[in-house]
Chain A
Amino acid sequence: GENVEQHPSTLSVQEGDSAVIKCTYSDSASNYFPWYKQELGKRPQLIIDIRSNVGEKKDQRIAVTLNKTAKHFSLHITETQPEDSAVYFCAASTGSNYKLTFGKGTLLTVNP
């Protein structure tokens, strides 16, 4: 089955800096890669996603890149703000909402 590795497990940045979180996946059939943000005690919320026919997608301060050949994808957050502090999960799937396989998460702390 699919295996998703996520790095780093913790990331601390200064406000205004950029943050990058990287994930690798094992199943070449995976074609959907969402990123979720989970604040303490709250539900995971989709922040951005990318499909395998696209190499990069951007939404304001957040961008995701996908390298299908290397089977890795990354989340980039620019101009970080304290409210970006949360746990971020990457996931992979063969369909948007079917059997998402999640990474173990990255705790991002943005220091004011």
Chain B
Amino acid sequence: ETGVTQSPTHLIKTRGQQVTLRCSSQSGHNTVSWYQQALGQGPQFIFQYYREEENGRGNFPPRFSGLQFPNYSSELNVNALELDDSALYLCASSSGVSNTEAFFGQGTRLTVV
């Protein structure tokens, strides 16, 4: 069992609202990546944080933003929620930005109504 934990596990929000999702990385990991997984699809890369700095971003609008804290935990913030934002949001932590395995958390299921 990996040490990556996410909270909350489930969340229901109304269109237009804002949401914050949290991820605690595995001990010793300084890199966190966030992915969006729509139903029946593969995960899509949102962005990655390495030592508190954004280290790459996928094809997501600016209303998707993030933070990484000194303890390497991370937040994903989504503003002005849209119905299409309904998905499973996964974070993955690793030590360094290359050549090490990424371990996924169990995800946060976000439903926008």
Contacts and interface: CB of A to CB of B under 8 A. Distances in A.
Nearest to A4: B42
B97 A95 contact: yes
B45 A99 contact: yes
Interface string B12-50: 000000000000000000010101000011111100100
A interface, over-half SS = strand
Ranked 7 nearest A-B pairs via Cβ: A102-B42, A95-B98, A97-B102, A97-B94, A43-B104, A96-B99, A43-B106
Contact of B41 (A42, A98, A100, A105): A105
Contacts of B35: 100
The number of chain A residues touching the other chain, given as a range, is 20 to 34
A54 interface: no
A102 B44 contact: yes
A25 interface: no
Contact of A44 (B90, B97, B98): B90
Contacts of A42: 106
B48 A99 contact: yes
Interface string A77-112: 000000000000101000111111111110000000
Contacts of A14: none
Interface string B42-68: 111100100000011011000000000
